[in-house]
Structure 1
Amino acid sequence: MINIAIVEDKKNEADKLIQCLKEYEKRQKDSKIKLEIKWYENAERFLQSVRNKVNHDIIFFDIELPIQNGMDAAFAFREIDRQTPIIFVTNMTQYAIKGYQVEALDYILKPVEYSSVVGPLNKAIDLIQNNLEEILIIQNVQGLIKISSRDLIYVEISDHKLSYHTVNETFYGYGSLTDVELKLKNHNFLRCNSSYLVNPRYIKSIEDQMVIMKNDDKLKISRPRKKQFMNDLTEWLGKGNIIW
C-alpha cells in the first residue's frame, strides 16, 4: 500500500487529481500497486498529520494555498522529513522551478491531466521501492542482532571480521563483504574499495580519494574502483534520490 497525501484547498482540483490517481491504480493490476489517498484542504492540517505520525509515502502539494502556501509548507515538512517525495501541482511554472530548494521530485502543471501525472508518479513509486529497507541479521557473541539497511552507514571488513556502522552504534560479525553486498544489492550500497560498502544516503562529501560520511568517518576510494563508484553515485542521484 502506498499512502498519498494531496494538499489542495480547492475540492474540484483535488478531485481531478484523485481521479487520475485512481485511474493509474486501475491500470497497474499486474504490479498490484494499491494507493491510499488522503486529501488535506490546507497546509496546517497536513503538517498536523505529520506531527501526529500519520504515514505519507508521496505528497502532492498545491503551491497556491491560503494562509500558508505549499512552498512554505514544504519547507516546514522538510524540517521533519528529508526523504518523502514531494510533487508540486501548480499553474505557475516559476514557483514550481523553485522546488529544488525543498528537493521536490517533480511538478505538474494545472489543469491536471492523467498524462501529466503518470511520469512524476512513476518516478516517486520507483524511488519508494528502491528505498524499502532490508533487515540484516548478524550473529555475534551477544547472539542474533537485527540491523535495518536504512540505519546502516557503511560496512567494513578486516581479517574476515565485519563491522556494521549504524547511526547509533557499531555491531560486529563474521563473513564476507561480498555476501553482504549481495544481500543489499537492491538498496544501492556502493563499493568504494575492497574493504568498504557505503550507504550513499550518508555521504557528506567526496574529497579527492576520500568519501566523507555523515558520522565524519573518512573512507578511501581505491583508484581501480573510483570511476565505477562515481558513476554509480551519479546514477543514484540522477534517479531523484537525496542525501540526508
Structure 2
Amino acid sequence: MIKVAFCDDDLSVLKELSVLMDRYRVERNQDITYAAFHSPLELLSEVERGTRLDIIFLDVLMPGQDGISAAREIRKYDTSVKIIYLTSSSEYAVDSYEVGAYFYQLKPIWQESFYRLMDSVLRECLRNEKNSLILRCKTGITRLELDKLKYCEVTGRNLLLHKEDGEVLDSVGKLDDLCEQLKDYECFVRCHRSYMINMDYVKSISNKAVILSDGTQIPIPHGKYSELKDKFFSYFFRKNQTFLA
C-alpha cells in the first residue's frame, strides 16, 4: 500500500487534493491511503513518531514554518520519501532540489497534470521498492539500495549494514528476518550465523574466510566451506564470470 500525505494551510487545496486522489485511486485501481495536514508541525509530528510515508505533497509557503525548512526536518527522519512541492510561484524551485524534492507542482492543480504526476511517482516508488530495502535506523527511516549493500553483521540486537561507500547503517532487527526478506535475491548468502554477504563483492574464498573486494574478511564456520564454494561457483557461472578459489 502506498501512503501519501498532503500538507497545506489552505483547506480548499486539501479538499481539492483529496477529491483528485479519490478519483485517481478508483480509476487507476491503486491501493493508496492518504492523510491531510493543515500545518507542517502536524506533519513533522507524525514523521517523528515513526510513520513511514511514500509521497508527501507539501506547500511551500505556510505560516509558522515554510515547506522548504519543513522538508529539511523531514529528511532528518526519512531520506527516501518522495517530496512534491506545491506552490503558485516557481521562485523556490532551486531550494526545493536542495532537499531532494521529486517534483515542483504549480497551482492550480488540474486533474490531467495530477494523474500524470501520480503515474510517474508511483512508477518510481515501485522501481525503488523492487531493488531496495526500507530500514528504521538510529538516524531515521532510510531506503537502502540493495546493490550497494556489501554485507551485514549482527551485534547484539542490532544489524550493521555495510555499504559499498563505507557507510554503516545501524538498524534494530534479526538476521533471520533480513535473510527472509532477501531470499529472492540470489546474490545474498548467509555464510555465518552472524553474517550475510553480497556475492557481487566477493574477491576470494578460502576454507576459513570470505574475502571481500575491500579486504574485509568474513569468517566461515567449520564444515561450511564446500557448501559456500558451490553457491559461489553456481552464482558466478550464471553471471558468466570466472571465479577462482
The TM-score by the shorter chain falls in which range? Answer: 0.5 to 0.7
Separation in 2, partners of 1:28, 1:146: 39
Question: How many Å apart are 1:4 and its aligned residue?
Answer: 0.1
2:193 to 133, 136, 142: 142
Q: Please, which of 34, 41, 44 is the counterpart of residue 47 of structure 1?
A: 44
TM-score (norm 2): 0.60
Matched pairs, number: 175
Q: Is the 8 A contact 2:204 2:212 kept in 1?
A: no
| Map of 2:11 onto structure 1 | 11
Alignment partner, residue 23 of structure 2? 23
Give the superposition deviation at 1:82: 1.6
Cross-structure match for 1:113: 110
Contact 2:199 2:232 (8 Å CA) reproduced: no
Aligned residue in 1 for 2:128: 131
Aligned twin of 1:37 = 34
Q: Whole-Å Cα distance in 2 between the matches of residues 171 and 10 of structure 1? A: 58
**Cα pair 1:157 1:176 within 8 Å, conserved:** no
Q: Which amino acid is the alignment partner of residue 58 of structure 1? A: I
Matched, 1:158 2:204: yes
- Structure 1 residues 178 and 94 mapped into 2: Cα distance closer, same or farther (>3 Å)? farther
> 1:82 maps to which residue?
79
Deviations 1:79-125 (A, max 9, x none): 22221110001101111343111110102111111112123322221
Aligned residue runs from structure 1 range 52-67, under 5 A: 52-67=49-64
User: Percent identity of the aligned residues?
Assistant: 21
Conservation of the 8 A alpha-carbon contact between 2:210 and 2:218: no
In 1, Cα distance between equivalents of 2:234 and 2:199: 17
Partner residue, 1:93: 90
In the TM superposition, residue 66 of structure 1 has moved relative to its aligned partner by 1.1
Aligned position for 1:234: none
TM, length-normalised to structure 1: 0.60
Please say which of residues 105-114 and 171-180 is displaced more in the overlay: 171-180
Q: Quickly say closer, same or farther: Cα 1:140–1:51, change in 2 above 3 A.
A: same
Larger RCO (CA under 8 A, 6+ residues apart): 1
Larger radius of gyration: 2
Q: Is the 8 A contact 2:84 2:105 kept in 1?
A: yes
> Once the 2 structures are TM-superposed, how far is the Cα of residue 162 of structure 1 from its aligned partner?
6.3
Seen in structure 2, the aligned counterparts of structure 1 residues 63 and 164 have a Cα distance that, compared at 3 Å, is farther
Shift of 1:27: 1.8
142 and 28 in structure 1: CA distance in 2 versus 1, 3 angstrom threshold: same
Letter in 2 for 1:93: S
Deviations along 1:20-63, one digit per CA (max 9) or x if unpaired, are: 1122111212xxx2110111110011111111011211000011
**Secondary structure of 1:103's partner?**
coil
Instruction: Give the AA of the match of 1:142.
Output: R
Cα displacement string for residues 118-145 of structure 1 (whole angstroms, at most 9, x for unaligned residues): 23322221222122235146343439x7
Q: Is the 8 A contact 1:6 1:39 kept in 2?
A: yes
